[in-house]
């Protein structure tokens, strides 16, 4: 049998002609990523090793983004640890406050991730870079330490599920709705340690931001990674953002998949994940009145420019519902600047929202939007586990920027059609 796209990339980086699902391999790494929460653990582990420095100072990326700007003394100490390590080892891609952004939006923007790469990151949403045709996956901090020291990592080669996209999304439906639909269909362990490989002519109708969102949440279905084929749109993105050469891989025609799932994009409706798992999905048109206390628009899943433009289009000339808090977080400094230039920030502020510096913040219950007991939040983030955003008796409803913005106007879970959009 032939190999999937993921298997081809792993075989090439392991120096093998072919690999099979379940096989253990050691692969060369093109990039190792860490943030302000996970890097200090990796740094301390690396200090126990006999190596004197990192394997390649150009192939490490350190992005303080979870509790940055520092929210307290502990987070300040973590960032100090990362900063001192970056200075000691002359790490090229260390992003200080003022340059940093949310890691999984920042790295593609900076051209550090391209097609054909093998990338590990001590953050579960490292799978985002599959949107560009890379194999990227989250690992633990000890694996990050080994990766920084040796430039290699062990993998069990994953089997794959093929998702065949056809058709075109309807207005106000986005990549977030697509991936929530898929997770609702197969469950949070429906792709456990498998590669989610997205194919079909419908991909041509998905923007890069849609693809980043879909790949980002592959982990929420338990997947090892999510990956898209490289097409003209992906090539254009990489050429605009990166000077690095990239290599395209394509699945063999006789590649073996555990399942093949066909999805007509035109049938997908605005979708929301109810507490307390991403698989608990409902289409918005089936939801009765659910009042909310907060809306968050941002994160590595939906803090990109298309997301902000969508939310601003809905909020322009409108006001946030009385008693509701709306927090908008551009994912990078470049996105923030562009949002200012396009007048999006003014729209948000005039509507009654607050706009934050780039940070993961509320997504993980860090800061900038903690929920109190009994409060409900519609959020464009990627997880809605118990206590994820604050009190264990609070609730998170995962949604697209369009649904989040419409809900901000009505004060309850809504879609753009509910406010005449």
Check whether residue 310 and residue 354 sit in a common domain: yes
Domain closes at, from 220, 237, 264:
264
Residue-wise pLDDT for 330-379, tens only, equals 999 999 999 999 999 999 999 999 999 999 999 999 999 999 999 999 99
What does DSSP say about strands 225-227 and 281-283: parallel, antiparallel, or unpaired? unpaired
Check whether residue 253 and residue 336 sit in a common domain: no
Check whether residue 302 and residue 258 sit in a common domain: no
- Please determine, for residue 290, whether its predicted confidence score (pLDDT) is greater than 90: yes
For residue 155, the model assigns a pLDDT of 97
Q: Tokens standing for 407?
A: 């809900």
Any idea what the CATH number is for the domain that residue 307 is in?
3.30.499.10
Residue-wise pLDDT for 167-207, tens only, equals 999 999 999 999 999 999 999 999 999 999 999 999 999 99
For residue 421, the model assigns a pLDDT of 81
Q: How confident is the model at residue 50 (pLDDT cuts 50, 70, 90)?
A: confident
For residue 420, the model assigns a pLDDT of 86
Whether the CB-CB separation of 6 and 229 falls below 8 Å is answered with no
For residue 3, the model assigns a pLDDT of 96
Domain closes at, from 214, 231, 264:
264
Check whether residue 312 and residue 241 sit in a common domain: no
Number of domains in the chain: 2
Q: How confident is the model at residue 1 (pLDDT cuts 50, 70, 90)?
A: confident
Q: How confident is the model at residue 245 (pLDDT cuts 50, 70, 90)?
A: very high
Check whether residue 184 and residue 240 sit in a common domain: yes
Residue-wise pLDDT for 131-161, tens only, equals 999 999 999 999 999 999 999 999 999 999 9
Check whether residue 44 and residue 154 sit in a common domain: yes
State mean pLDDT over 119-136.
Answer: 97
Check whether residue 179 and residue 40 sit in a common domain: yes
Computed over every residue of the chain, the mean pLDDT equals 96
Collect contacts of 186-192 with beta carbons under 8 A, ≥24 apart.
186/161, 186/221, 186/261, 187/221, 187/279, 188/220, 188/221, 188/222, 188/277, 188/278, 188/279, 189/221, 189/222, 190/221, 190/222, 190/279, 191/161, 191/218, 191/221, 191/222, 191/223, 192/222, 192/223
By percentage, how much of the chain surpasses pLDDT 70?
100
- Please determine, for residue 74, whether its predicted confidence score (pLDDT) is greater than 90: yes
Check whether residue 275 and residue 207 sit in a common domain: no
For residue 326, the model assigns a pLDDT of 98
Check whether residue 93 and residue 65 sit in a common domain: yes
Tell me the backbone φ, ψ of residue 199, rounded to 5 degrees. Answer: -140, -175
Rounded to two decimals, the pTM is: 0.95
Which residue segment(s) compose the domain that 370 sits in? Answer: 270-419
Check whether residue 158 and residue 213 sit in a common domain: yes
Q: Tokens standing for 56?
A: 């390649």
Whether the CB-CB separation of 89 and 102 falls below 8 Å is answered with no
Domain closes at, from 235, 264, 293:
264
Check whether residue 234 and residue 298 sit in a common domain: no
Check whether residue 196 and residue 311 sit in a common domain: no
């Amino acid at each position: 049998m032939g190999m999937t796209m993921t298997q081809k990339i792993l075989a090439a980086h392991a120096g093998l002609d072919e690999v099979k699902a379940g096989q253990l391999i050691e692969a060369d790494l093109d990039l190792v990523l860490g943030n302000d929460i996970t890097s200090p653990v990796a740094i301390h582990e690396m200090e126990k090793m006999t190596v004197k420095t990192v394997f390649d100072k150009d192939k490490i990326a350190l992005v303080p983004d979870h509790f940055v700007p520092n929210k307290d003394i502990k987070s300040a100490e973590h960032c100090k640890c990362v900063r001192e390590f970056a200075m000691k080892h002359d790490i090229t891609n260390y992003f200080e406050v003022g340059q940093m952004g949310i890691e999984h939006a920042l790295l593609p923007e900076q051209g550090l991730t391209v097609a054909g790469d093998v990338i590990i990151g001590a953050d579960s949403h490292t799978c985002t870079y599959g949107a560009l045709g890379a194999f990227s996956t989250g690992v633990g901090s000890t694996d990050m330490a080994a990766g920084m020291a040796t430039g290699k990592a062990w993998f069990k080669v994953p089997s794959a599920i093929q998702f065949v996209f056809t058709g075109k999304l309807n207005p106000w439906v986005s990549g977030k709705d697509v991936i929530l639909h898929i997770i609702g269909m197969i469950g949070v362990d429906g792709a456990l340690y498998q590669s989610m490989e997205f194919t079909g002519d419908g991909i041509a109708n998905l923007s890069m931001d849609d693809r980043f969102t879909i790949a980002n949440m592959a982990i929420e279905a338990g997947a090892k990674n999510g990956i898209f084929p490289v097409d003209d749109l992906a090539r254009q993105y990489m050429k605009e953002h990166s000077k690095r050469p990239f290599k395209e891989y394509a699945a063999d025609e006789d590649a073996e998949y555990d399942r093949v799932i066909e999805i007509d994009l035109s049938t997908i409706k605005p979708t929301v994940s109810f507490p307390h798992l991403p698989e608990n999905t409902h289409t918005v048109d089936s939801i009765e009145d659910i009042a909310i206390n907060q809306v968050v628009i941002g994160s590595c899943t939906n803090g990109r420019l298309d997301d902000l433009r969508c939310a601003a289009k809905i909020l322009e000339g409108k006001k946030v519902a009385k008693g509701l808090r709306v927090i908008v977080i551009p994912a990078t400094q470049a996105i923030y600047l562009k949002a200012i230039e396009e007048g999006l920030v003014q729209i948000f502020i005039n509507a009654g929202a607050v706009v934050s510096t780039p940070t993961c913040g509320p997504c993980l219950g860090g800061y900038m939007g903690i929920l109190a007991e009994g409060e409900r939040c519609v959020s464009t983030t990627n997880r809605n586990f118990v206590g994820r955003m604050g009190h264990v008796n609070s609730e998170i409803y995962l949604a697209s920027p369009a649904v989040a913005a419409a809900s901000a106007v009505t004060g309850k879970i809504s879609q753009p059609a509910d406010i005449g959009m």
